[in-house]
Chain A
Amino acid sequence: QKEVEQDPGPLSVPEGAIVSLNCTYSNSAFQYFMWYRQYSRKGPELLMYTYSSGNKEDGRFTAQVDKSSKYISLFIRDSQPSDSATYLCAMSAGGYNFNKFYFGSGTKLNVKP
């Protein structure tokens, strides 16, 4: 079983739709949860960084963490064609290994104009 599971998509939505992206994980030690956006042939760009359970909002983006279910989500409101990219979740256990990130395989999102 992979440490982090993520549906690869592709996910295709019309412009303006609400997008829900999700990851599940198996390691209960994970405490830090990140979402990255990666455009084709580019490096990942940090979108959201959360610690432990709860919600975090930044503009059109909301990150949710449910540690009891080992499930994290990223919501994108009013999606735009420029949001079309691959979204990667990442997580780490913190402590001594806080820098060791485990990545999902990424979900490819296509927002149609």
Chain B
Amino acid sequence: GAVVSQHPSRVICKSGTSVKIECRSLDFQATTMFWYRQFPKQSLMLMATSNEGSKATYEQGVEKDKFLINHASLTLSTLTVTSAHPEDSSFYICSASTGGEQYFGPGTRLTVT
């Protein structure tokens, strides 16, 4: 149980384009989903917290207009990286919360050329 999926697993896009990443909780309903980014050999950095039906809460330093988060249902949250630049290249991981524990998706590797 407690399986979280992400799609796509990896994506390459050109600078200036937008990319959408989906995060789904497959066998449970998650009232809260989280988006992290992870640079090589570094820890997970929380970007934003997403509650179903309400606006996401962004961490300090994360541009909300650049990283658009939509939590449309109790099983789906999306992260759209708008006008992507090479410095946005990273490993993006979502997690879904149930009862205080967080279950992580497999991650999406974004490369912006």
**Which residues of chain A have a CB within 8 Å of any CB of chain B?**
4, 6, 8, 32, 34, 36, 41-46, 49, 88, 98-101, 103-106
Contact = CB atoms under 8 A, between A and B. Distances in A.
7 contacts: A36-B104, A42-B106, A44-B104, A98-B100, A99-B97, A100-B49, A106-B41
Interface of B: 4, 6, 32, 34, 41-44, 46, 49, 91, 93, 95, 97, 100-107, 109
Given A34-B101, A100-B46, A105-B42, 17 more contacts: A32-B100, A41-B107, A41-B109, A43-B95, A43-B106, A44-B44, A46-B101, A46-B103, A88-B44, A99-B100, A101-B44, A101-B46, A103-B43, A103-B44, A104-B43, A105-B41, A106-B41
SS class, residues of chain A in contact with chain B: loop
A101 B102 contact: yes
Contact of B105 (A6, A32, A41, A43): A43
Contacts of A45: 104
B59 to A, nearest CB: 9
Contacts of A105: 41-43
Contacts, number: 51
Given A41-B109, A43-B4, A45-B104, A99 B34 contact: yes
Contacts of B102: 46, 99, 101
A28 to B, nearest CB: 20
A99 B32 contact: yes
A83 to B, nearest CB: 18
Nearest to B9: A41
